Structure 1
């Protein structure tokens, strides 16, 4: 009896089928169907076995179940070996189909995600269970390596991209930035591929990077899938209103400093990741050039804004 069959049996489920989901995942992920014989019901789940060194999510779901459960659809976690997790099949992520929505529909969807994040951020702290998120030079260094790798292979890669990132991190002293907003529980990776809409509610998957940090950490990661000036302006304004509705009124300096620094750091992080996905064959030359141009433009714009406003 395989360990997967045995695990399902322990949950009073009979495994009917298991199909691997191919993609850039940290581990192996399967769509599975199982029969609950007592109810004669066929149920659909996602079963994930974690890659070595990428198993932090197991600990988070075990230690923070009371805080994570309202935002996740995890059914069971196995501490090993192999470490794994079972969750309800939530269907397709929000990102799938998002760009086909109208401008107003996009705002409604993003507003729902931000409202949900604000609820997470308003939960009681968990200093003893989660690491503290800190800004560093990690994403800058990775991104510069990725852009140099790209330049060595593609004639259309521009040296100005590296220059923009170097100047932003040096002028703003980003690796040493100390966030100003009160630390809250943050998901750590709520881009739209990790966000699902199911049963009239927003759900989050992949809690590997959960940590105590500024709430703008999650907000600026969510923004990485937005390539529209109007939406980029909408997000921080809407989120700040969400906080005010919960009695949290941050100063302009605290809010916009954290937003700007974390936005630049995450633009850099996701730029590096998008280049990695390009090397893995998930984007065309035209698509990756558009992504890089947008993110570099945003880094330049926000760097200028922070310097002009004095939000440092």
Structure 2
């Protein structure tokens, strides 16, 4: 780690200890304790060295640094190879203790996170500084590939899962859906592994997928780590109220339409990612089966709701 040592040395930081953080990451991540030579204090950081082809966050930070400062705790960014980022150590992600919380405490935490997302979505859009999010076939193709691999390895994998994904994308024509809500700055990946609670504040990491898009993009990704019917219903209603409280009215029909289509697309995305984590040994067989069954069930539920409301063109 000569690059890390050299970079911190130039910041007048002496490394006291360093530990690589394992897991399914897009790069190498290290927990670092360093001594600040300027004030002679110990500080704790996270150093992220980006994997090749996964360094978009460096450009994103350069383009919207003034916005990210309010929502993240980045200390330094290196644009030369190897591209990397130094952040304050925020402890453990919200996801690590979320499932153990009582429902009432989960609601409080969810509310706090949604307020932060609404605040982000209320910022000036900076249209020329971020890409524009568009639905496509990417997540469907990846998910079908992942489920196909799973089916070839595990007898309990159901071919009905792949059929469900294929049919809902074809019948709803999800890849060509045009979002209806006003475009805003979206974080792009605010699931609970990228959300931290530190110093009585909510912080967001991993801005790699930040883009201009429907606010429901973030809301439906945030919903991916929630496995409770009541909380799933609570999230969009509370978020809608947050936006209205900020003086940003969203048309109810547009809101519901974006919610449904983006939720299906992100259920599919996260289903594929969870299968990948299972392949890498980060999830048990029992857990991945439960996750798949829940997400497939949610996709079917939303599809039926769209049919019932007549929002699709194929009933």
TM-score relative to the length of structure 1: 0.98
Partner of 1:252: 252
Q: Determine the C-alpha separation between the residues in 1 that align with 2:248 and 2:263.
A: 21
Partner of 1:309: 309
Cα offset, 1:308, TM superposition: 1.6
Partner of 2:196: 196
Deviations 1:81-136 (A, max 9, x none): 11110000000000011111000000000110000000000000111110000001
Partner of 1:233: 233
Partner of 1:285: 285
Partner of 2:36: 36
Q: Determine the C-alpha separation between the residues in 2 that align with 1:311 and 1:244.
A: 24
Partner of 2:154: 154
Q: Which runs of 5 or more residues in structure 2 are unaligned?
A: none
Q: Which runs of 5 or more residues in structure 1 are unaligned?
A: none
Q: Is the 8 A contact 2:191 2:225 kept in 1?
A: yes
TM-score relative to the length of structure 2: 0.97
Partner of 1:63: 63
Deviations 1:130-152 (A, max 9, x none): 00000011111111111111111
Q: Determine the C-alpha separation between the residues in 1 that align with 2:51 and 2:284.
A: 28
Q: Determine the C-alpha separation between the residues in 1 that align with 2:76 and 2:235.
A: 34
Cα offset, 1:2, TM superposition: 2.5
RMSD: 1.0
Cα offset, 1:233, TM superposition: 0.3
Q: Determine the C-alpha separation between the residues in 2 that align with 1:81 and 1:238.
A: 43
Q: Is the 8 A contact 2:189 2:209 kept in 1?
A: yes
Cα offset, 1:265, TM superposition: 0.2
Cα offset, 1:73, TM superposition: 0.2
Partner of 1:95: 95
Deviations 1:18-68 (A, max 9, x none): 211111111100000111123220000000111100000011111210011
Q: Determine the C-alpha separation between the residues in 2 that align with 1:310 and 1:251.
A: 18
Q: Is the 8 A contact 1:28 1:51 kept in 2?
A: yes
- Give structure 1 regions of 4+ aligned residues with deviation exceeding 3 angstroms: none
Q: Determine the C-alpha separation between the residues in 1 that align with 2:261 and 2:52.
A: 31
Cα offset, 1:250, TM superposition: 1.5
Equivalenced residue count is 312
Partner of 1:26: 26
